[in-house]
Amino acid sequence: MDNFIVSARKYRPQTFADVVGQKHITDTLINEIKSNHLAQAFLFTGPRGVGKTTCARILAKVINSDENTKPEQDFSFNIFELDAASNNSVDDIRSLNDQVRFPPQTGKYKVYIIDEVHMLSSSAFNAFLKTLEEPPPYAIFILATTEKHKILPTILSRCQIFNFNRIKINDIVEYLVDIAKKEGIETEREALHIIAQKADGGMRDALSMFDQLVSFCNGKITYEKAIENLNLLDSDYYFKITDALLGQDAGKALVLFDEILEKGFDGHNFLLGLNEHYRNLMMVKDTQTHLLLEVSENIQEKYKEQANKTEYALLLNALNVAHKFEYDFRMASNKRLHVELCLMKLNALPYLMYGEVVTDAQPKIMEFKSRIMIPVRTIKPAKVAVTKTSTSNTSGVSKFQFKDPKNTNALVSKEQIDLIPTVNLTKKINAEISVAESTTTLIPLSNQENETLEQFEFTQENVRTVLDNTADYLSKELNKKSAGALIKHTHFALKDNIILFDFSSTILEAQFKDALSHIGSRLKAPFLPAEVHIESCVTISESKAKDVFSPNSKLAKMMAQSEGVKKLANALKLGIKS
């Protein structure tokens, strides 16, 4: 029985053309060799398994080759490899410096490849500085590391630095397909995509997982076997859970999550996958960003189909909720309840955003309807434009004109859905029942038969009711108790189609205007007629009117009222000046 050679060694690239995903580096090295502009010190940096040591060996072989070189020729006398992780002392570097003094016996260059160079001690780095700065003409140093930031700046300044990239998923898939053909192994492309995603840009990791799956699947690698052996959660769970949440079927979503836990998957990994799922749904909705999806064609079609069922704003809010729960997962004492609460809040999103409940068995496309949406405590009231009257009005009355809520042309159009701000669910969302209770106590319920909001008659009693409800809304929901008390206790009068508020000072009037800026049109529409205007005035009674005193008159009045002040003024000779 022959010894098995792992694919990472068996299919290690032997030429620059075989290197995958590092064309910017291989082209540069080839051009340097052709133009004879070869540096004497290189630093190859990048993640693990992307070809740093491989490129170093190929470079060492190419620069020692000529037209008479045979493909199987060994250059072991010209290439020296040092593992800095285990040879990191000053003595090891001194031994290397001694070897550099002798020229090569065969070939043109002696190449020293130092792997994991960041593991060298500070003393070893300092001992290496002089040799690295002024090496013999036949010596070339290639340093490789995964942690460039740990290398001394004096070393970096003496090297030509090449940054290796993570290998793209599609490039890894194509390379695995080619190896599978050479080995005579049947594969499913979805399974190879799973391997490439799990490898995180490292070809060596991908080849190791490929060998493992070949043994597990007995010659035929399938998607189901791949996710089972690599302990990955099937992406179908995310599609099913998202469909359940779009249909507002929280029970089904919770049951699916229970199945995930029974299979041994962690709640944190589930939240990470859910975030990635919502991100992919957002990417696939745009023709410019759909190329960012690094998944197989079949799964990409599933993303497109599900993305067409929902709006961009809903996905953005869902991603915001899922990301917040993933961020807080470590702090949660009950991990399972934490994830279940996340699913329940995601289930409530369509109701919170659109004010409606889906009752259909199948999830439907969420459409933005041009109608007045009942404000709920989780959505910050939008600011309503205010039209002020001319400032030349000398009566002290300032007017505010509100938009007509029945004017559908002024509502947000369907094309502007993407501009809907993200719902702040961190501080605002409570249980659905508490939301309903707070809404019922503050706003009259809508007429379910006609689907229109009840409109009050313009009477003193009805206006007072609306004012009291608005004051409660400011105090309880917006935590502006002073503004709520001001609206509740301010006197007003009705005249024609005007509500006139009477204040005893300009300060109170300014506070009233500030309160209006927080509640928008809630004070009036849609419960009072649209043509009603709101005005305010300041009335100062004669008893409260203040006289204007000069300094002399102030002193005279104080002296008349107090003998002590009079004696002090006389002692200080503060006579009243005419």
Task: Tell which wins on pLDDT, 218 or 427.
Answer: 218
pLDDT tier, 540 (very low <50, low <70, confident <90, very high otherwise): low
pLDDT tier, 337 (very low <50, low <70, confident <90, very high otherwise): very high
Task: Tell which wins on pLDDT, 117 or 507.
Answer: 117
CATH of the domain at 335: 1.20.272.10
**Residues 181, 250: one domain?**
no
Residue 269 lies in a domain: yes
Long-range contacts from 133-139, C-beta under 8 angstroms, 24+ separation: 133/158, 135/40, 135/41, 135/100, 136/100, 136/101, 136/103, 137/40, 138/103, 138/104, 138/108, 138/109, 138/110, 139/40, 139/100, 139/109, 139/110, 139/112
Q: Which of 200-214, 334-348, 503-517 has the lowest mean pLDDT?
A: 503-517
Q: Is the confidence at residue 413, as pLDDT, over 70?
A: no
Percent of the chain beyond pLDDT 90? 16
Express each pLDDT in 34-52 by its tens digit. Answer: 988 888 899 999 998 898 9
The pairing of strands 398-401 and 533-538 is: antiparallel
Domain extent at residue 152 = 22-163
Residue 31 lies in a domain: yes
pLDDT tier, 426 (very low <50, low <70, confident <90, very high otherwise): very low
* pLDDT of the residue at 382: 45
CATH of the domain at 177: 1.10.8.60
Express each pLDDT in 198-252 by its tens digit. Answer: 888 889 999 999 988 888 888 788 888 888 888 888 888 999 999 888 888 889 9
In angstroms, the CA 516 to CA 514 distance is: 5
**Residues 141, 176: one domain?**
no
Task: Tell which wins on pLDDT, 574 or 342.
Answer: 342
Express each pLDDT in 484-494 by its tens digit. Answer: 777 777 777 87
Task: Tell which wins on pLDDT, 421 or 320.
Answer: 320
Q: Is the confidence at residue 380, as pLDDT, over 50?
A: no
pLDDT tier, 571 (very low <50, low <70, confident <90, very high otherwise): confident
Task: Please give the tally of structural domains in the chain.
Answer: 5
Residue 116 lies in a domain: yes
The last residue of one of the domains, among 163, 180, 213, is 163
**Residues 294, 328: one domain?**
yes
* pLDDT of the residue at 371: 32
The mean pLDDT value of the chain amounts to: 76
**Residue tagged 């039209």 (tokens):** 387
Those residues whose C-beta lies under 8 Å from the C-beta of residue 85, and which sit 6 or more positions away, are 115, 116, 119
Taking phi over 0 as left and psi of -120 to 50 as alpha, with beta for the rest, 340 belongs to alpha
Residue 99 CA, chain-centre distance (Å), reads: 53
Residue 128 near residue 98 (C-beta atoms within 8 A) = no
Express each pLDDT in 253-266 by its tens digit. Answer: 999 999 999 988 88
81: β partners: 113
**Residues 406, 533: one domain?**
yes
Residue 419 lies in a domain: yes
**Residue tagged 């490789």 (tokens):** 144
**Residues 521, 563: one domain?**
no
Cis ω for the linkage preceding 375 (within 30 of 0): no
Residue 43 near residue 151 (C-beta atoms within 8 A) = yes
**Residues 391, 490: one domain?**
yes
Q: Is the confidence at residue 369, as pLDDT, over 60?
A: no
**Residues 532, 551: one domain?**
no
Express each pLDDT in 118-175 by its tens digit. Answer: 998 888 888 888 888 888 888 999 999 999 998 888 889 889 999 999 998 888 999 9
The last residue of one of the domains, among 163, 194, 211, is 163
Residue 407 lies in a domain: yes
- pTM score, whole prediction: 0.57
Written as six digits, the tokens of 102 are 């002798």
| Secondary structure of residue 299 in the 3-state scheme | helix
**Residues 392, 536: one domain?**
yes
Residue 367 lies in a domain: no
Written as six digits, the tokens of 63 are 């620069």
**Residues 35, 143: one domain?**
yes
In angstroms, the CA 54 to CA 260 distance is: 41
Q: Is the confidence at residue 268, as pLDDT, over 70?
A: yes
The last residue of one of the domains, among 299, 333, 354, is 354
Residue 250 near residue 344 (C-beta atoms within 8 A) = yes
In angstroms, the CA 454 to CA 527 distance is: 6
Residue 17 lies in a domain: no
Residue 137 near residue 106 (C-beta atoms within 8 A) = no
In this prediction, residues 309-318 reach a mean pLDDT of: 87
**Residues 44, 139: one domain?**
yes
CB atoms inside a 10 Å sphere around CB 445: 10
Residue 382 lies in a domain: no
In 3D space, the residue among 279, 259, 257 whose CA is nearest the CA of residue 335 turns out to be 257
42: β partners: 142, 160
Instruction: Quickly list DSSP for 445-482.
Output: PEETTTTEE----S-HHHHHHHHHHHHHIIIIIS--HH
**Residues 527, 414: one domain?**
yes
Element (H, E) at 192: helix 189-199
* pLDDT of the residue at 515: 74
* pLDDT of the residue at 462: 77
Q: Is the confidence at residue 455, as pLDDT, over 70?
A: no
In angstroms, the CA 548 to CA 213 distance is: 94
* pLDDT of the residue at 270: 92
446: β partners: 453
**Residues 397, 432: one domain?**
yes
